[in-house]
Structure 1
Amino acid sequence: MKRTKVVRFVAGVAAIAMAAAGLAGCGGSSNSASGSNGGKEGDLDAALQKGGTITYWTWTDSAKAQAAAFEKKYPKVHVKVVNPGTGMTVYTKLQNVLKASSGIPDISQIEYQAIPQFSVPGNLLDLSQYGFAKYKNKFVKSAWEGVTSGSSIYGLPQDTGPMVMFYNKQVFDAAGITNPPKTWDEYMQDAKILHEKDSSVYITNDSGQGNFITSMLWQAGSHAYKVNGTNVEINLNDPGAMRWAKNWDYLFKNHYISSLTNQGTEWYQAANKGKIASVVSGSWMAGAFKSSVKETAGQWRVAPMPSYDGKPASANYGGSSEVVLKKSANPALAAAFLRWLNTSQESIDLFKQSGGYVSTKKELSSQEFLNEKSDYFGGQQINKVFLESGKNVVSGWQFLPYQAYANSITMDTVGKAYQGQTTFEKALKEYQKALVTYGNQQGYKVTGK
Structure 2
Amino acid sequence: MTFRKKARLSSAALVLTLVLGACSSGSADGGDDRVNLTVWSWDDTVAKAVPGFEAANPNIKVKVVNAGSSFDEYTALDNAIQAGSGVPDLAMFEYFAVPYFAIPGKLDNLGEFGADKLKKDYVEAAWNDVAVDGKVYALPSDYGPSVMFYNEATLRKAGVKKPPATWDEYYEDAKKVRALGGDHYIAQDTGDLFFLLSLIWQAGGRPFEVNGTKVHIDFTDPGTTKAVAFWQKMLDEGLLNTKVTAWSDDWNRTLNDGTLASQIMGGWLTSSLPQRAPKVAGDFRVALMPQWKQGDEVGAENGGSGFGIPAAAAHKDAAFKFLEYFTHGGGLSSRVKAGAFVPNTSVLASTDSPSKVDKYFGGQKVGPVLAKASKSVARGWQYPPFFEWARSTYADLVSKFYTTGKGSLAEILEEWRKRMTKYGNEQGFEVD
TM-score normalised by structure 2 residue count: 0.90
Work out the CA distance in 1 between the residues paired with 2:350 and 2:31. 31
Matches within 5 A, 1:281-300: 281-300=265-284
Deviations 1:356-393 (A, max 9, x none): 11221111111333999712111111111111100110
Change (3 A) 1:110 1:293: same
Report if the CA contact (8 A) 1:416-1:427 is conserved: no
Q: In the alignment, which of 112, 131, 139 is matched to residue 122 of structure 2?
A: 139
Gaps of 5+ in 2: 12-26
- Report what 2:285 is aligned to: 301
- Report what 1:314 is aligned to: 299
Report if the CA contact (8 A) 1:19-1:95 is conserved: no
Work out the CA distance in 2 between the residues paired with 1:206 and 1:53. 44
Work out the CA distance in 2 between the residues paired with 1:76 and 1:381. 41
Q: In the alignment, which of 422, 432, 437 is matched to residue 417 of structure 2?
A: 432
- Report what 2:48 is aligned to: 65
Q: In the alignment, which of 222, 227, 234 is matched to residue 251 of structure 1?
A: 234
Report if the CA contact (8 A) 1:45-1:336 is conserved: no
- Report what 1:410 is aligned to: 394
1:95 paired to 2:78: yes
Work out the CA distance in 2 between the residues paired with 1:160 and 1:47. 33
Change (3 A) 1:48 1:211: farther
1:193 paired to 2:171: no
Work out the CA distance in 2 between the residues paired with 1:369 and 1:354. 11
- Report what 1:339 is aligned to: 324
Q: How many residues align?
A: 416
Work out the CA distance in 1 between the residues paired with 2:142 and 2:415. 33
Report if the CA contact (8 A) 1:23-1:443 is conserved: no
Matches within 5 A, 1:36-435: 47=30, 51-259=34-242, 260-310=244-294, 311-344=296-329, 346-369=330-353, 374-419=358-403, 420-435=405-420
Deviations 1:99-129 (A, max 9, x none): 2222111111111111111111210000112
Work out the CA distance in 2 between the residues paired with 1:373 and 1:68. 25
Work out the CA distance in 1 between the residues paired with 2:2 and 2:340. 31
| TM-fit CA distance, 1:395 | 0.6
Report if the CA contact (8 A) 2:99-2:132 is conserved: no
- Report what 1:6 is aligned to: none
Report if the CA contact (8 A) 2:270-2:357 is conserved: no
Change (3 A) 1:288 1:330: closer
Code of the aligned partner of 1:431? W
Work out the CA distance in 1 between the residues paired with 2:161 and 2:183. 20
| TM-fit CA distance, 1:64 | 3.0
- Report what 2:24 is aligned to: none
Work out the CA distance in 1 between the residues paired with 2:10 and 2:137. 16
Work out the CA distance in 2 between the residues paired with 1:373 and 1:233. 42
SS in 2 for 1:284: helix
Work out the CA distance in 2 between the residues paired with 1:342 and 1:271. 32
| TM-fit CA distance, 1:210 | 2.9
Work out the CA distance in 2 between the residues paired with 1:201 and 1:285. 21
- Report what 1:35 is aligned to: none
| TM-fit CA distance, 1:353 | 2.2
Change (3 A) 1:64 1:425: closer
Report if the CA contact (8 A) 2:195-2:264 is conserved: no
SS in 1 for 2:96: helix
Deviations 1:173-230 (A, max 9, x none): 1111112111112111111121123242111011113333333322222111111111
SS in 2 for 1:368: coil
SS in 1 for 2:209: strand
Code of the aligned partner of 2:313? S
Report if the CA contact (8 A) 1:206-1:257 is conserved: yes
| TM-fit CA distance, 1:132 | 1.0
Report if the CA contact (8 A) 1:20-1:443 is conserved: yes
Change (3 A) 1:62 1:271: closer
- Report what 2:20 is aligned to: none
Change (3 A) 1:154 1:416: same
Deviations 1:214-270 (A, max 9, x none): 333222221111111111111122222211210111111111111211121001111
TM-score normalised by structure 1 residue count: 0.87
Work out the CA distance in 2 between the residues paired with 1:287 and 1:65. 16
Work out the CA distance in 2 between the residues paired with 1:215 and 1:49. 49
Alignment RMSD, CA only? Answer: 2.4
Change (3 A) 1:46 1:54: closer
Report if the CA contact (8 A) 2:353-2:366 is conserved: no
Report if the CA contact (8 A) 2:325-2:332 is conserved: no
Change (3 A) 1:207 1:315: same
Report if the CA contact (8 A) 2:145-2:373 is conserved: yes
Report if the CA contact (8 A) 1:223-1:240 is conserved: yes
SS in 2 for 1:62: helix
Work out the CA distance in 2 between the residues paired with 1:45 and 1:397. 39
| TM-fit CA distance, 1:25 | 3.1
SS in 2 for 1:180: coil
Report if the CA contact (8 A) 2:143-2:342 is conserved: yes
Work out the CA distance in 1 between the residues paired with 2:31 and 2:420. 44
| TM-fit CA distance, 1:53 | 2.3
Gaps of 5+ in 1: 1-16, 28-43
SS in 2 for 1:197: coil
| TM-fit CA distance, 1:26 | 5.3
Change (3 A) 1:177 1:144: same
1:25 paired to 2:9: yes
